[in-house]
Amino acid sequence: MMDNLLGKNIVLIDFMGVGKTTVGNLLSKKLGRGFFDCDDIIMERCAMKIKDIFKIYGEKYFREMEKGVLAELSERKGVVIATGGGAVLNPENIEKLKINGLLVRLKASPWKIMSNISGYAESQSCDSRPLLDEGDKLGNMLRLMHEREGLYRCCHYELFTDPFSAEEVSAIITQYLS
């Protein structure tokens, strides 16, 4: 491991369904680091599914929770963090995560994301991704991906994951860090 990366957090960013949680889990095991998933922490604190937080309190409330959790996670040292796909919407989140983190972008094509999402249990995907669910899923996805493309470029390192399994992606990132 590059000496200067030892205490750094590895922060996974990019769109819903690219595999941030799966890769984050694998990476944390490979590197022997703690793993924190922002959405999981939010759900635990609210004792609610993401879908219900959006429905009952609205997106603005969710984004405030997300901002608070990301600020706390930014203070950690040497852990792996999976962000939600909307973490990049607030520049303050990125600023904080970058203070002690290496931002790794897991980029994927729309068709890979669609296939990942339809591979999850239907309820799990809908429970955590309300922004895709109103009306046309593919249309919503393409629009949001387009809107956010520039924001995800705040990363330090980008990997196009389509050709790889989650296991391979975590091996490539580990290699990059060594």
Binding-site residues from annotation for substrate? 39, 63, 85, 148
- Helix H segments across 120-165? 122-128, 130-133, 137-152
Q: Give the binding site for ligand S3P (CB under 6 A).
A: 16, 20, 39, 50, 84-86, 128-131
CB of 85 to ligand S3P, least distance (A): 3
Alpha-carbon radius of gyration of the chain: 15
Neighbours of 6 (CB within 10 A): 11
DSSP-assigned beta bridge partners for residue 101: 9
Q: Which is nearer to ligand S3P, 5 or 137 (CB)?
A: 137
Q: Which helix (H) or strand (E) holds 15?
A: none
CB of 144 to ligand S3P, least distance (A): 7
CB of 178 to ligand S3P, least distance (A): 27
Residues annotated in a binding site: 17-22, 39, 63, 85, 129, 148
Alpha carbon 19 to chain centroid, angstroms: 8
Q: Which is nearer to ligand S3P, 4 or 146 (CB)?
A: 146
CB of 1 to ligand S3P, least distance (A): 26
Q: Which is nearer to ligand S3P, 86 or 101 (CB)?
A: 86
Q: Which is nearer to ligand S3P, 2 or 64 (CB)?
A: 64
DSSP-assigned beta bridge partners for residue 60: none
Residues annotated in a binding site for ATP: 17-22, 129
Give the C-alpha separation, 102 to 131, whole Å. 27
Neighbours of 127 (CB within 10 A): 17
